[in-house]
């Protein structure tokens, strides 16, 4: 089984994507999902994600294969936006379907920790009409390190 890994320039409907994923894996005892979205508040006007095409999708695909090799999953979905987004827009959806919930939880958590800290995206936020680059936080690196 291959992971369904997509890099998207256009908005997506997380509920529709999750419903289709769940329907495609009826034997799974559990489906765990994580939706990351552009936060509102704190003056955030927009978020932009840039990427390097020769590395981004191949890197995301390799991550999907690493997840599948590590846990017994029925399915794995990784959707990630790039481009400019506004508060409330979905950025990333990770879903893992497994016979047993613990595999699904761990797989989704692992994928998100790697996407957040070891990814192929450059992020910047616009606040007060000015753009500033966002670097991973120390906690993001700590989250990634716990996977060994």
Query: Looking at the 3D structure of the chain, how many domains does it have?
Result: 1
Q: What CATH number corresponds to the domain at position 92?
A: 3.90.1170.40
**Containing structural domain, residue 70:** 4-145
**Antiparallel, parallel or unpaired: β 75-81 and 4-8:** parallel
- pLDDT digits over 85-122, tens only? 999 999 999 999 999 999 999 999 999 999 987 778 99
Rounded to an integer, what distance in angstroms lies between the CA atom of residue 29 and that of residue 80? Answer: 25
Give 35's pLDDT tier (boundaries 50, 70, 90).
very high
Is the whole-model pTM more than 0.85?
A: yes
pLDDT digits (tens, 9 = 90+) for 49-69: 999 989 999 999 999 999 999
Rounded mean pLDDT, 15-39: 96
Phi-psi region of 88 (alpha: psi -120 to 50; beta: other; left: phi over 0): left
């Amino acid at each position: 089984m291959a992971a369904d890994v997509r890099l998207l320039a256009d908005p997506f409907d997380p509920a529709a994507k999750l419903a289709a994923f769940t329907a495609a894996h009826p034997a799974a005892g559990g489906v765990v999902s994580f939706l990351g979205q552009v936060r509102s508040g704190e003056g955030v006007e927009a978020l932009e994600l840039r990427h390097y095409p020769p590395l981004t999708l191949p890197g995301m695909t390799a991550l999907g294969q690493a997840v599948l090799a590590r846990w017994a999953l029925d399915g794995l979905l990784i959707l990630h936006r790039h481009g400019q987004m506004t508060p409330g827009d979905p950025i990333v959806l990770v879903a893992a379907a497994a016979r047993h919930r613990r595999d699904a939880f761990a797989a989704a958590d692992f994928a998100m920790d790697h996407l957040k800290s070891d990814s192929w995206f450059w992020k910047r936020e616009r606040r007060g009409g000015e753009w500033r680059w966002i670097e991973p936080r120390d906690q993001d690196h700590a989250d990634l390190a716990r996977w060994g």
